[in-house]
Homo-oligomer: A and B are copies of this chain.
Amino acid sequence: MDAQEYFDTTPAPQGVEDVAQRVREFVEHNQRLSRRVVLVSSGGTTVPLEANTVRFLDNFSAGTRGAASAEHFIASGYGVIFLHRQFSLEPYTRHFTHSKNCFLDFLERDAAAHERAADGGAASSGSSAGHDARPRRGSLRVAERLQAEIAEVFDKYQAARAEHRLLKIDFVTVHDYLFLLRRITMEMSPLGKLGMYYLAAAVSDYFIPQAKMAVHKIQSGDGALTLSLEQVPKIIKPLVQEWAEHGFIVSFKLETDDAMLLPKARKALERYGHQLVIGNMLHTRKHVVHFISADRAEEIRLTPDEVAANFEIETHIISRLVGLHSEWIARE
């Protein structure tokens, strides 16, 4: 099934036109400021196995790469359309979510405010002084030990919002993703060369077409289950050739078998004619990536010191990409 047939035979998810409107306004705002805009896709897509979905296929991805990259793009002056899997990591909050600690652990009662109130004579319900195990009644604030760390991120987040540098759009299924990607890239096309497409989402390769999907929950108890899946259309083809033909397009390849990486990246470049494949291996993806273009391959690798310091490889990736995007814009 090619992309056209897919879009012709699959019901469009709700809300796509609403997203298009938000993207249009975001693009116009950034155009007025002559800002570059990057679409960052992030996180895995689900593949529903039933129309009334109880079960689905999914791709391993917390959205780490995409969320970190979005933040670094903003720091580099870009406007970012962050198209991400619902509840995957997001720029800024990523530093604090998806941890063992929940956000209630970041908070504490403001004892000082409590005491100020007490000094002022607003005594609380008549417990005597001395040891009191009940929580203090001061207002809730970020715990003292976390103030500096959270404040640094909070300020960046507030600045990105105030400057309209970040537009967040979420998806769940591969269908949401494909329809949104098409619609968003169309709205981005007025950006021409100033638009970058950084396709870091882990998009499913297989799906069950609408016409072949079970209506109700597949019943267990009937022994083994055999699922027949078809290939998801290669969306990058119309993206490169029709929807974003002047944009700078970066796709990702994730592999677990070293030998597959370079050949598969080159094959993708030949087939789709876009500008760059970033290749990475499942188990080393946070420390080394490969930039593979039609005429060269280069490696970006953290030094042992950087690894020890938890330096983010996305800093190097985005820095290099900004340079390549500048070259792309300067080309005739």
Contact = CB atoms under 8 A, between A and B. Distances in A.
B52 A55 contact: no
A288 interface: no
Contact of A139 (B103, B141, B206): B141
B229 A229 contact: no
Contact of A96 (B96, B103, B255): B103
Contacts of A49: 57
**Interface of chain A: mostly helix, strand, loop or mixed:** mixed
A93 interface: yes
Given A55-B59, A57-B57, A60-B53, A140 B147 contact: yes
A299 interface: no
Contacts of A97: 97, 102-103
Interface residues of A, number: 66
Given A103-B103, A151-B140, A153-B104, A58 B55 contact: yes
Contacts of A256: 50, 52, 54, 216-217
B220 A104 contact: no
Contact of A104 (B53, B58, B93): B93
10 contacts: A55-B59, A55-B204, A58-B58, A140-B141, A140-B150, A216-B257, A223-B231, A225-B227, A225-B230, A226-B229
Interface of A: 46, 49-50, 52-60, 87, 90, 92-93, 96-98, 102-104, 106-107, 110, 133, 135, 139-142, 147, 150-151, 153-155, 157-159, 162, 202, 204-206, 216-217, 219-221, 223-231, 254-257, 260, 282-283
Given A55-B204, A225-B228, A225-B230, 19 more contacts: A52-B256, A53-B60, A55-B57, A55-B59, A56-B59, A87-B87, A90-B102, A97-B103, A104-B154, A107-B150, A139-B142, A140-B147, A205-B220, A206-B220, A216-B255, A216-B256, A221-B231, A224-B229, A224-B231
